[in-house]
Amino acid sequence: MKTTSNNRPTSLLLILLCLLILSLSLSSVLADSHFEGFDAEDDVVEDESLDLDSLRKLTDLPLTQSDSSPPITKTTHLTSSDPQSDSDPKPNPTPENPKLSSPTTSFDYWDEDEFEGVPVLHPPPDTQETTENAAPNQNLDPKTTKESKTVPVPKKPSSYLVEIVSVTFLIMFLINYFTGKRENENLALAWAAKFATKDSIFEKNFSLLGVGEGDDSPLLLKEGQNVFKFYASGRRYCSGLLATMELKSRHDLISRLYNLVVPCKDEITFEVYMNEDAMDHVVFAMAKKKAAKGMQKELQDLNRFAGLVAAPTGGRKWVADELGVISESKEVAGDMITDTVLEQVFGEKAFEKFGRGFISMHLSDQHPGIQKKVLIFKFALPDANNMTDMTRLVALVPYYIDLIGRYKLSPQARSKTDAARQKAAQEAYKELQNARQEALQRKKAERKKMMEEAEAKLSAESIRKREAKERTRQMKKAMPRVKMTRGN
């Protein structure tokens, strides 16, 4: 009872890689903060210019008025000068006051622009000044003061928002990866413990259990984080059984979130490979009605040999109303749906209780692929704690192996199915021949093309040769003249 250990190194690798990602992301945070600085500075400048504009609009001052003022204003600001303190107590600021104060702001700004090399001294007075100016201007424009105070400060945390969100998401992803992985493993192990350990259904029916060789072979093969495989062999009528558990991708946070919107189930698929001599002509499938229609259309063998079978009239018991039956003939359908099956799982009453996890079953001797005679059962897995719920469903598998192994069609039905299979075989043969002929024709066409191209090349070369010859001829004609001229 253990999962195969061939994925241990991968998990280790995963951890290492995740750490790498994290470290990379941290370093990129640092790198980003560098760019951040640039962004923030730009924003500040923009804000200032905005402030300036608003101030200008408010005041509409001629710039010439305070040519000599900048030095004065600086001193005044640093020492909290008299004119300002004078203006503060005044309850109603006269129009002169803003005129006096606003050009100082504009000029400070201009100064800053002109002397870009020495911005260190300016910013503190700048802020002071704006706050001081704000006092007299409060009733005029409180917005500008607010902006100048508030905007540059919260800009920085908000710019890290992306980093914070994505790092927390990554951490959540990592945690979810390990917890979800464990959940899936627990579910698969619960299934194996219930059905593949000693004195369980598969132990009693198959002589070889597990994916490896020897007695101590692991039962389950893990493929990816959400696919588990179980193999059993050594039973009459069949060469092997492969159960594939496809669980929800609980380890993946993104698809987990997606599954909140579009729910899906944990599924288990049993594929039984029947011996060549152990299966008569049977094409049969059963699923919930909608799914049955879909299967009939999509699956090649069902589409070709079988059709939907209506419930027989008369006193015979039949499967629950939700189920649709697809079969080659009514005889096969009647023989496949035995009284025991109806009683145990598929009858009206039993299906409500025990058939909840049933998705579909598909018995076919014309399965497309290498293995032709295959039985496929698909069930939904219950929780790890309620594995007993699906005992009857799992018991269907060996039951049908025996039923099919012993089943013989009646001669009448057999002649019909023989005819159908011969027809199908003939058509397949024809298709194969057609495909071969097409391939041959394609080859011929390609060869022709090649020949033509080669000829074209040859002709081009011959033309070139001809041209070269003509040139040489002309040269020869020209040569003596040249000599003549040289000689002269």
Q: Which residues bind another protein (CB under 8 A)?
A: 9-10, 13-14, 17-18, 21, 24-25, 28, 32, 35, 162-163, 166, 169-170, 173-174, 177, 201, 204-208, 210-213, 221, 223-225, 227, 231, 233-236, 239-240, 242, 249, 251-254, 340-341, 343-344, 391-392, 395, 398-399, 402
Residue 253 or 309: the one with the smaller Cβ distance to another protein is: 253
Residue 333 or 341: the one with the smaller Cβ distance to another protein is: 341
Q: Output helix, strand, coil percentages for the chain, rounded to the nearest 5.
A: 65, 10, 25
d(CA 386, CA 382): 6
Least separation in angstroms between residue 385's CB and another protein is 22
How open is the CA angle 242-244-246, to the nearest 5 degrees? 175
Q: What φ, ψ does residue 287 adopt, rounded to 5°?
A: -160, 175
d(CA 70, CA 81): 14
Least separation in angstroms between residue 2's CB and another protein is 16
Distances (CA, A) of 294 to 117, 286, 379, 462: 76, 11, 17, 64
Least separation in angstroms between residue 183's CB and another protein is 14
Residue 367 or 392: the one with the smaller Cβ distance to another protein is: 392
Short-list 289, 296, 396, 387, CA closest to 340:
396
Residue 134 or 341: the one with the smaller Cβ distance to another protein is: 341
d(CA 319, CA 268): 22
Least separation in angstroms between residue 233's CB and another protein is 5
Enumerate the β-bridge partners of residue 285: 326, 362
Residue 169 or 429: the one with the smaller Cβ distance to another protein is: 169
Q: Residue 169 is encoded by which pair of tokens?
A: 């998401």
Least separation in angstroms between residue 3's CB and another protein is 14
Residue 309 or 397: the one with the smaller Cβ distance to another protein is: 397
- Where do we find the tokens 């760019």? 35
Least separation in angstroms between residue 306's CB and another protein is 24
d(CA 225, CA 378): 20
Least separation in angstroms between residue 345's CB and another protein is 9
Beta-carbon count within 10 A of 63 CB: 11
How open is the CA angle 380-272-403, to the nearest 5 degrees? 95
Q: How far does Cα 238 stand from its chain's mean position?
A: 37
Enumerate the β-bridge partners of residue 324: 287
Residue 391 or 462: the one with the smaller Cβ distance to another protein is: 391
Q: Residue 221 is encoded by which pair of tokens?
A: 């093969």
Least separation in angstroms between residue 56's CB and another protein is 34
Least separation in angstroms between residue 275's CB and another protein is 8
Residue 281 or 392: the one with the smaller Cβ distance to another protein is: 392
| Residues in CB range of 2: below 8 A, 6 or more apart | 218, 219
Residue 138 or 166: the one with the smaller Cβ distance to another protein is: 166
